[in-house]
Structure formats: structure tokens, C-alpha cells
């Protein structure tokens, strides 16, 4: 009775597990189908299944064959000795059980269990099998063995996985068989039976010999592994590896194969001593040939003349690393220009567009301001702020952009009902765009796009579809097109509701409702009367869910929003990576990477589109062969989106880390570590931190126009002066090109921490900072922005003032540093004019003053913009409790409205 109940419980548990797995697979299939990627789903699923099934069958057959032979090999007689009592009590019952049907069932179960473990382990690395069968050539052979890089990246991981898995299985079977034979076969039989043939000896001989053959295979693969690992001061095979370890490994391969043959023949002939001799010979050879000989070569031939011995291999390492990290084509540009001797006024005039786009707003302060001023309701959140660029007519402007996402966790406790979380509060609304350096009189950002409903200052950022159903915070499943409608946005004292008009998600039929209710363990999906057959369920709707479609890619940590064609899109960078590129230095577990894929996600419909941004990358070519229909050429991306492609920060940081060491191409300089660079530090608030790469607008040497670039300065290791700046281009046909500006050795260029020290030592600035900090406020020092300008470096650091009890920072001062001079003024242009000695300087001709945005300040539209500005000012003062300034703003607004009425009457 008890057995029957246990069996019933086991059946129920298995059924529930299978049901849960089946529902998970079905749910994923419906999600893939809603995106039009059915083929991708089946490829991912069947690859895992086929790999697991084949591995299971092969290893099950191996274990089962060994257990079958083990059963047949056990002797059927007993030799009586002094251990007879022990035999009768312990061994004899075990032999009877092992030889019975129960024992055979038990060993079959063990075979299945062991095979399942190996199948699960190897099926998790299904992409290794895919890349092995769909490999494409790199066209770059390694300089030592002549193998193409594709062998190391696509083939070698497969061979290593196969060798290690088979070796583990043979060792496991050898241990099991040895233990069983030792305990269940008579010791006297074994002792006397060595001199004659027996199935036991054949079995053990086969396993030991097979293990030695696998060891020979391991030695063979280790030859190639020398080119993908680091042994000394650089990555890849060095002199000792090529002239000692590789020959030693070849010798060990032969010895291992001979030892395998010797073991097999000796055991069959009943001789144990040759077996021990063969195995011992391999162990001694491994110590002498594989260990002592390379050590002697390194100690007595290499170290006394290390550079001359290693020079050729260091050059291999430099060339391979620069290629593997995409640094092979870095172009040097000259830092010395004709502008270096020009007057300050001429420098400002020639670089006015660059200067007008210097970023003052730091990400953290402006995010706080957005959440205070543009959040509008507690359940909205600006999760992240990004930098992008837009063209407003003829003006090319760098802007800050963030989307207003809905965060259900910020709903009040009473509002967190099932209906609200699943049916009503389904999406965020709109975005905020502001220039990177525009500031109101109160130290707040100006807005090019703001409020609910969205109010654009320019048509280029007009949003016709502002709903955010897919974003960074949309990690819950929701149901749209229900009877009760969805909360769209607040309007005064009431809320506006809408129904989803897109094609995202899965339409809910009654049967699908049942399956989803079971899958999400939420029966209200089935029971709710508000859900109809026209309703759609949206799930797996974060931008990061792109990894479900391409789990073999590495994705950037910072997707960014784009407002184009009246819609909001997300752009997410994806990378192909490898860890077996020969001679390439290893960083963060990889030694090859390319930003080969750009993923575009529609914030309303949730469409995921994968575009190949680097078709020269063989790895993305392999993935395209494996998953036809997933990847599209970049030429199919709309031009409006292509204008907003950015070089990714994550990749640039990795490349900068590598380039700081591998900008050196001379082997001797590299060997002596004479010219290593490092990423400098800056002060942020009261802390010191490593400078992050930042986007800026600048005109590169030899170019006619300013362009959007990602830039980072370098300093020498353990020194503070600037030595170079490194940049990646983002615009047009130059996208992805990298340049470096190296300062001449005889020129002193101030580094970031030297500039920070100059700021701290300036009496006027330091006294003002001290004064602010003593009056209930906190001074936040923003990012120190470095801009190459006229042969030198211009540094700009914003200062934010924040009340200690408030989370509303204000941009109150701008510090500028150039060629040893430092100034602090209320705004950027005042600081630049003072720094460069420009008398009566005027602001940039860019649309810094939004009152003049359309060159028609006296038109009705211009007056309306002024009214909007004054209205926002009044609201700012109202929130701050500054009633005097609030009254002034309202008075000005009233006068302006009277002027507008009069103008309309005239028109």
C-alpha cells in the first residue's frame, strides 16, 4: 500500500514537472511566433534537444555496454579462504543481487542517470556544436602552426568539450568496474588468474588503454591551446612553447599511444609488470619531457636573452590582439594645428559648434531633475538618461534623452490590485529631451520635449505614439484591449484611458487563457470577465529580452531610446565574442569581440529587429547561417534610425583598456613597458573616480564639419599629465572608425587630476565652494569633460548646488580650464569668453535660446514658446515655494498673453 502511494506521488510530481516544462516551451513558442521568429525558436529548441538526445544515446550505450560486459565477466565460482565469513556476510549477497534481474535493472538505471548527466551538461553548450558545423574561415592563419583562426574559435572548443566529456566517462566507468571486480570477484581468482586470459583483464585493459589514447588526444589539443593561453609576459606561445613544449607534447603523444598499446597487449597476455612500466614511463616522460625540459630551456636559453628570443612572438601577440579587439585600423591624427598660435577669439569662432555642444548636464543630477520636474506622477520613473544627437533644421545638437516609464512598484499599496497591475497600468508615456548645456536662470534644464501629453519644441522630436509598452522597467506581463481600458496618462484631476492599437503580444482565445493561467500560476487570467477574445497578453517585454532570441550574443548594459518618425524606439548593441583567438590577450574572459549587431525594439509594438552592423565579422556570418531570417543587412534599417547609431560605451571601454597597453607596436618598447597608458581619474562630488568615456561633438583634424564622437583621454601609468586622447566616430560612413591623438613628448598637456588640483588651488573658486558647503547646501562637481581644441585640451566642469534636504540639483556655475588658466562663471559662454579673452562675446548661433528657435521671435508661434517658458518658470518657483518670483513670472505671462491677443487681432 505504501509503495503504491509513493508511486502515485511520483507520477503526480513527474506529471507536474512535465506540464510546467511543456507550458514554458509553449509560452516561449507563442512569444517567438508573435515576433515572426518561429524558425529561430525551433532551431534553438531542436538544437538543444538533438544535442542532448545524441549525447544521451551515445553515453547510455557506452555505460550500458560496460555494465553488460561487467555482468558477463564476473566469475561464477567461489574460492574459499580465510575470509570466507566476510564473504558469506557481505560479498555473497551483493554478488547475488548484482547478478539478478534487479541488479541488471539497477545498472541500466545507473547508465541512464550517468548518460542524462552528461547529456544535460553538454546540451547547455549547444552553441559549440552549432559553430562547429557552420564554421566560416577568418582568412587569418596563426603564425606558428598555420591553422586558420576559425579552427581555434569554431573547432577547438568542440574537440576540447568532446575530449573532456569522454575522458570523464571512461574514468567513471574504470572506477566502477575496478571496485566491482575487486569486491565481487574472488581475490584468489584475481591473484591466480593474471597468468591466463580472462574477460576481466580484457575489460580493464580496454578502459585503461582507452584512457591513455584520450590522454594522447589531450596532448594534441594542448599544442593548439598554447597559442590561446598566457604563459609569460604576453599572451600566446613564446620561444619555450614553440621550441620545447610543442616538441615535448608531440613526444608525449607517441609515448601515450605506445603505453596504451603496451597496456592492452600485456593484460591480454597476463603480464602486469609491462602495464606498470608503460604507465610509469608516461608519468616520468610527462615530468621530464613535459616539465623539466621546458623549464631548463626557459631558465638557461630564454631568460638570459629574453627579448631577443621572444621578440618575434611579442610581435605576434601585438598584431593578434589589435586585430581581435578591432584596434588594427586606429588612425593617428596630429594634435598640432595651425590654430595653436591663433588668438582666443579666433579659436572660439572657428570651434563655435563644438563649444556649443559641450555637455554640462551630468547623468545623475539631470536624472534627479527629470524625476522631480517631469515625473508628474509617483508611478512614473526616468530609469536612465542617455546622450544622443538630433538635427533641428540646419542645427546639429547634442541632447540628453530619457523616457517616462511606468514603474508598478511605485503604485501606492492600496492601488497594487490585480486589475491595476495586469489590466490598467500597462505602459509608460512619452519622453524628455533637453540640450546638453542649456540652463534656465534657476539652473534647470531647458526642454526640447516635455510634459504629458508630449510638447515638442521642434518637429524632429514630435511624438505621435508616446506609449511605452516595451522598455527597461516593463518586466511584468499585462493584458491589453480589455473591457475596462488602460490608463494612458493623467490630465488634471482626471485620467485619460485608451485601448492598445498595436500588434504586439499574443491574442487570447479561451484555450490560450487557460494555458497562460496555468503557466503564470494566475487563475484570474482565466476567470476575469474584463478579458475578451480581442484582448492580447504582453509578456517578456523588456529590451533586454532580446537575449532570448540570441542567447549566444553578449548585450550592452545600456539600451538607449530614440525619437524618430513620431515613434519611440530602443537601440541595443550586441557583441560577438570568443575566447580562443590565437595570440590575443585575454580580458574579462574573452579575447575577440565585435559590435556586429544592432537590435532595434519598437517601444509600442515590441518588434525586435536584428541588423548586422559589421558584415566582415565571420562570427556573425556563422550565426546568420544557423538562424536564417533573424539577421538583416544594415542597409534595411531606416535612415532616420541609422542617424542615431552610437558607438557603444561598453565596447569602447574594453578597447580603451586594451589600447592603453597595445597602442605600442614596437616589440622592444612593449617588452620594457616603457609607454603604458592608463585611464585617468576625476572628482565627482567629493569622490575620485575613473573617467567614463563620453560623447561629444567636435571637428576632427582634416574634416570640414563637426561630428558625434565617443572620446576618452589617457595619462601615462603612475603619472597625471595627459598623453593622448582616443575616440570612436559615430556618424555616417565613418561609423566605427577609431582615431588617436598622441601629444608630442616635448609638450606638457594637463591631465584631468592636474586640472582638478588647479581648481582646488584657485583661491576664488575654493572659497566659493567652501561658502556654499557651509550654508546648508551641497556642491556636486560634475563630470570633467575634455575637448581637444586648437592643439591643446579644454576642460569643462559643471558645478551643481543642491540643498541637503532636497533632491533637486541646480547647475549654478561652470568651470573652464585651458592651457594652465582656470575660470569660473555662471554659464558656459561667460566662462569661455573670459578664458579666451573674448570681449563682449555672444552666445552660440545654435538655438541656445529657445525663444529664437524658429527665427521668428515676434510671430505668434514665437510668443507661444515664450509663454510656455514663463509658465514652466512659474511652476518651478511654485514648487520651490518662492512666491515672489512666482508672482513676477505670472505677471510677465499675463503681459505676454495680452500681447498675443493683440497680435491675433492685428492679424
Task: Tell me the average confidence (pLDDT) per consecutive run of 10 residues in the chain, 907 residues long.
Answer: 69 76 93 95 95 96 91 61 48 59 82 95 94 96 96 97 96 90 58 58 86 95 93 87 94 92 74 72 86 90 91 95 95 65 77 89 91 90 95 91 94 92 95 92 90 92 95 95 92 89 94 94 93 95 96 95 96 97 94 97 96 96 96 95 96 96 94 92 81 91 88 93 94 94 85 92 87 79 88 90 81 92 91 84 45 44 67 63 60 69 55
Using alpha carbons, select from 645, 658, 443 the residue that is nearest to residue 564: 645
pTM of the model: 0.87
DSSP 484: T
- Say how far apart CA 554 and CA 527 lie, in whole Å: 40
The DSSP H or E segment spanning 61 is helix 38-73
Q: Please give the grid coordinates belonging to residue 799.
A: 558645478
Distance between CA atoms of residues 634 and 616, nearest Å: 12
Cell of 537: 497578453
Q: How far apart are CA 881 and CA 842, in angstroms?
A: 33
- Identify the bridge partners of residue 825 per DSSP, sorted by sequence position: 814
Q: Do the Cβ atoms of 202 and 267 come closer than 8 Å?
A: yes
DSSP 557-576: S--EEEEETTEEEEEEEEEE
Report how far residue 630's alpha carbon sits from residue 274's, in angstroms, rounded to the nearest whole number: 59
pLDDT of residue 383: 93
b/e 489-507 (16+ beta carbons within 10 angstroms → b): beeeeeeeeeebebebbbe
* Integer Cα distance of 648 and 659 in angstroms: 16
Largest CA distance in the chain: 126
Report the Cα–Cα distance between both ends of the chain, in Å, rounded: 97
pLDDT at residue 862, rounded to an integer: 60
Residue 687 burial (CB < 10 Å; 0-12/13-18/19+)? Answer: exposed
- Alpha carbons within 13 angstroms on the beta-carbon side of residue 362 total 24
pLDDT of residue 185: 61
CA distance 342 to 719: 30
Give me the residues paired with residue 677 across strands.
716
- The torsion region of residue 890 among left (phi > 0), alpha (psi -120 to 50) and beta comes to alpha
- Please check whether residue 585 is in contact with residue 232, taking contact to mean a CB–CB distance below 8 angstroms: no
* CA dist 683 → 83, 213, 760, 798, 845 (Å): 80, 60, 11, 11, 32
C-alpha cell at 72: 558477463
- Cα separations (Å) of 497 from 424, 489, 707, 763? 9, 7, 42, 58
For residues 657 and 671, what is the distance between their CA atoms, to the nearest angstrom? Answer: 18
Give the E-state strand segments of 719-863 in sequence order: 724-729, 738-742, 777-781, 785-789, 792-803, 810-818, 821-825
Amino acid at each position: 500500500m505504501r509503495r503504491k502511494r509513493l508511486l502515485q506521488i511520483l507520477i503526480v510530481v513527474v506529471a507536474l514537472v512535465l506540464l510546467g516544462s511543456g507550458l514554458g516551451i509553449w509560452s516561449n513558442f507563442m512569444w517567438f511566433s508573435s515576433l515572426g521568429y518561429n524558425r529561430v525558436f525551433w532551431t534553438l529548441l531542436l538544437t538543444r534537444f538533438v544535442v542532448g538526445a545524441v549525447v544521451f544515446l551515445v553515453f547510455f550505450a557506452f555505460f550500458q555496454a560496460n555494465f553488460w560486459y561487467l555482468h558477463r565477466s564476473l566469475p561464477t565460482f567461489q574460492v574459499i579462504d580465510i575470509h570466507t565469513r566476510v564473504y558469506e556476510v557481505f560479498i555473497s549477497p551483493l554478488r547475488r543481487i548484482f547478478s539478478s534481474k534487479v541488479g541488471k535493472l539497477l545498472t541500466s538505471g545507473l547508465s541512464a542517470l550517468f548518460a542524462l548527466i552528461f547529456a544535460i551538461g553538454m546540451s547547455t553548450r549547444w552553441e559549440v556544436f552549432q559553430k562547429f558545423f557552420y564554421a566560416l574561415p577568418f582568412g587569418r592563419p596563426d603564425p606558428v602552426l598555420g591553422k586558420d583562426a576559425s579552427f581555434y574559435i569554431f573547432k577547438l572548443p568542440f574537440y576540447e568539450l568532446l575530449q573532456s566529456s569522454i575522458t570523464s566517462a571512461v574514468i567513471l566507468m574504470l572506477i566502477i568496474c575496478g571496485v566491482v571486480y575487486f569486491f565481487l570477484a574472488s581475490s584468489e581468482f584475481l591473484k591466480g588468474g593474471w597468468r591466463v586470459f580472462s574477460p576481466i583483464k580484457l575489460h580493464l585493459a580496454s578502459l585503461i588503454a582507452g584512457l591513455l589514447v584520450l590522454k594522447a588526444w589531450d596532448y594534441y589539443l594542448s599544442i593548439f591551446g598554447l597559442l590561446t593561453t598566457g604563459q609569460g609576459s604576453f599572451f600566446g606561445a613564446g620561444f619555450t612553447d614553440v621550441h620545447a613544449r610543442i616538441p615535448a607534447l608531440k613526444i608525449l603523444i607517441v609515448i601515450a599511444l605506445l603505453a596504451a598499446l603496451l597496456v592492452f597487449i600485456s593484460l591480454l597476455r597476463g603480464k602486469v609488470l609491462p602495464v606498470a612500466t608503460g604507465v610509469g614511463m608516461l608519468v616520468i616522460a610527462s615530468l621530464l619531457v613535459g616539465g623539466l625540459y621546458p623549464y631548463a630551456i626557459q631558465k638557461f636559453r630564454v631568460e638570459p636573452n629574453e627579448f631577443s628570443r621572444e621578440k618575434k612572438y611579442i610581435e605576434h601577440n601585438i598584431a593578434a590582439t589589435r586585430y581581435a579587439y578591432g584596434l588594427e585600423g586606429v588612425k593617428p591624427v596630429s594634435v598640432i594645428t595651425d590654430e595653436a598660435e591663433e588668438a582666443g577669439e579666433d579659436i572660439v569662432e572657428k570651434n563655435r559648434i563644438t563649444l556649443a555642444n559641450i555637455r554640462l548636464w551630468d547623468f545623475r543630477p539631470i536624472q534627479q531633475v527629470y524625476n522631480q520636474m517631469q515625473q508628474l506622477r509617483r508611478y512614473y520613473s526616468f530609469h536612465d538618461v542617455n546622450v544622443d544627437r538630433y538635427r533641428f533644421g540646419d542645427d546639429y545638437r547634442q541632447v540628453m534623452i530619457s523616457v517616462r516609464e511606468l514603474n508598478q512598484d511605485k503604485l501606492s499599496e492600496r492601488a497594487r490590485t490585480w486589475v491595476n497591475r495586469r489590466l490598467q497600468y500597462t505602459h509608460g508615456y512619452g519622453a524628455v529631451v533637453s540640450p546638453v548645456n542649456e540652463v534656465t536662470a534657476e539652473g534647470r534644464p531647458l526642454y526640447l520635449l516635455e510634459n504629458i501629453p508630449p510638447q515638442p519644441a521642434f518637429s524632429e522630436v514630435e511624438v505621435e505614439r508616446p506609449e511605452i509598452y516595451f522598455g527597461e522597467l516593463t518586466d511584468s506581463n499585462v493584458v491589453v484591449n480589455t473591457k475596462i481600458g488602460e490608463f494612458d496618462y493623467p490630465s488634471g484631476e482626471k485620467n485619460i484611458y485608451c485601448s492598445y492599437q498595436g500588434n504586439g503580444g499574443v491574442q487570447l482565445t479561451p484555450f490560450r487563457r487557460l494555458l497562460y493561467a496555468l503557466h503564470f500560476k494566475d487563475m484570474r487570467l482565466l476567470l476575469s470577465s474584463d478579458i475578451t477574445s480581442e484582448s492580447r497578453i504582453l509578456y517578456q517585454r523588456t529590451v533586454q529580452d532580446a537575449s532570448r532570441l540570441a542567447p549566444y550574443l553578449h548585450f550592452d548594459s545600456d539600451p538607449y531610446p530614440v525619437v524618430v518618425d513620431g515613434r519611440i524606439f530602443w537601440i541595443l548593441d550586441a557583441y560577438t565574442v570568443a575566447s580562443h583567438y590565437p595570440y590575443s590577450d585575454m580580458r574579462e574572459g574573452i579575447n575577440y569581440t565585435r559590435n556586429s549587431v544592432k537590435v532595434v525594439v519598437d517601444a509600442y509594438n515590441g518588434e525586435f529587429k536584428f541588423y548586422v552592423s559589421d558584415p566582415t565579422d565571420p562570427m556573425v556570418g556563422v550565426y546568420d547561417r544557423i538562424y536564417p531570417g533573424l539577421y538583416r543587412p544594415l542597409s534595411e534599417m531606416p535612415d532616420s534610425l541609422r542617424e542615431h547609431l552610437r558607438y557603444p560605451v561598453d565596447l569602447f571601454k574594453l578597447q580603451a583598456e586594451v589600447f592603453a597597453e597595445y597602442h605600442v607596436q614596437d616589440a622592444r618598447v612593449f617588452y620594457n613597458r616603457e609607454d603604458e597608458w592608463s585611464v585617468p581619474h576625476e572628482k565627482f562630488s567629493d569622490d575620485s573616480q575613473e573617467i567614463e568615456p563620453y560623447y561629444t561633438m567636435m571637428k576632427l583634424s582634416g574634416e570640414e564639419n563637426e561630428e558625434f564622437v565617443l572620446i576618452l583621454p589617457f595619462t601615462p601609468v603612475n603619472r597625471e599629465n595627459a598623453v593622448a586622447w582616443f575616440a570612436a566616430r559615430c556618424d555616417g560612413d565613418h561609423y566605427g572608425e577609431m582615431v588617436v591623438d598622441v601629444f608630442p613628448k616635448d609638450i606638457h598637456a594637463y591631465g584631468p587630476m592636474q586640472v582638478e588640483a588647479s581648481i582646488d588651488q584657485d583661491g576664488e573658486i575654493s572659497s566659493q565652494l567652501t561658502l556654499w558647503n557651509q550654508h546648508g547646501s551641497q556642491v556636486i562637481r560634475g563630470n570633467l569633460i575634455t575637448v581637444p581644441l586648437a592643439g591643446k585640451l579644454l576642460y569643462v566642469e559643471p558645478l551643481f548646488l543642491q540643498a541637503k534636504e532636497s533632491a533637486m540639483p541646480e547647475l549654478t556655475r561652470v568651470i573652464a580650464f585651458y592651457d594652465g588658466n582656470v575660470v569660473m562663471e555662471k554659464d558656459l559662454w561667460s566662462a569661455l569668453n573670459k578664458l579666451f579673452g573674448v570681449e563682449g562675446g555672444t552666445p552660440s548661433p545654435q538655438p541656445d535660446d529657445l525663444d529664437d528657435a524658429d527665427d521668428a521671435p515676434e510671430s505668434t508661434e514665437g510668443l507661444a514658446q515664450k509663454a510656455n517658458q514663463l509658465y514652466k518658470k512659474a511652476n518651478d518657483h511654485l514648487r520651490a515655494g518662492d512666491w515672489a518670483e512666482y508672482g513676477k513670472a505670472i505677471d510677465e505671462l499675463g503681459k505676454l498673453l495680452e500681447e498675443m491677443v493683440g497680435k491675433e487681432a492685428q492679424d
